Each structure stands twice: as structure tokens, then as C-alpha cells.
Amino acid sequence: MQSIALSNSHISSIRTHAESTYPCECCGLLLGRVAGDVKTLVEVLPVQNAWVSEAEECWPEQKQLTETRRYAISPTDMLKAMKYGRDRSWEIIGIYHSHNDCPAVPSEFDRAGAWPQYSYIIVSVIQGSSTDLYSWILDGEGNFRSEEILTVAQT
């Protein structure tokens, strides 16, 4: 079974980011290392939700939706994170984002844009307070399945 290892501090960072951007969705990158079936998170890298600027070009059929129900990470932020990670011998191991006033379960939009090598942490934010937090991965058929979260000591 695949799993992601992260500390309580990492979880707290994701929850704090999600609450601070409510009612908009937050998003960010998860940097770390992969060994076998375990991804180990080293750093949570919050980024700005670029939905407004990216929707017109990448998802014109959904541009009427706002960052309260969608998120996008800009290519510039992805490249910066790749370089930042590479300089530290880390890689992007996943992406996190929030779901506002709904469950921390991937949507069809989340599935359509997901990459199989990444973990996807989703945190539910209900009326400004974070609740459930789950990690998801794509299976061989392109469907999300739950990924075990291992809570480890801060490194």
C-alpha cells in the first residue's frame, strides 16, 4: 500500500493555509523524497491560487467558476518549486488544496487534472475552519483511491 509520511507541523501548515484563504480554495506543493511505496514530505510550499489567470487559457469552458470552487498552480510556480527542490535533492511529491464547505473528496475536475505519481492532499474547510484532511492517489485505471497518511516526528 502506498503512503505519505508527514509531520503534525506539515498538517498544521496546510490547515492554516486553507483557513487563511477561505472562502477561496488554497493550493500548494509538497516537496520531499520517494523511497519504495513511501513518499516522505520535507516541506510544504504554499502558492497562490492562479485559477483566475489560468482558467481563460487552460479551462475556457470553466472560466465562469471562481477560485471558491477551483484552483490552479501557475507554470511559473511549478518551475520555481522544481528548481527549489532540485537544489535540495527533493522532488515534488504531491499537491494540496482545500475544498470549501464540502467534503475532502476529489472532484471529477481534480481527477481529470491529476498525475499518477503525485499524492493529492485535500482539506475540507467548513465555514472557515478546517475539518477532514485526506490524501489521495490515482490507481492504474485513473481513479482516485485513499492513500495512507503516516504521521512522523518533525525532521
pLDDT tens-digit map of 91-150: 999 999 999 999 999 999 899 889 999 999 999 999 999 999 999 999 989 999 999 999
Nearest CA to 70 out of 110, 125, 123 is that of 110
123: which strand partners? 98, 133
First to last CA, the chain: 23
Segment 20-63, tens digit of pLDDT: 999 999 999 999 999 999 999 999 999 999 877 655 555 555 55
Enter the pTM of the model. Answer: 0.92
Q: What is the pLDDT of residue 132?
A: 98
- Which CATH number does 13-152 carry? 3.40.140.10
- Domain-wise residue ranges, the chain: 13-152
**CA distance readout (Å), 75 to 23, 34, 79, 119, 148:** 24, 23, 6, 18, 29
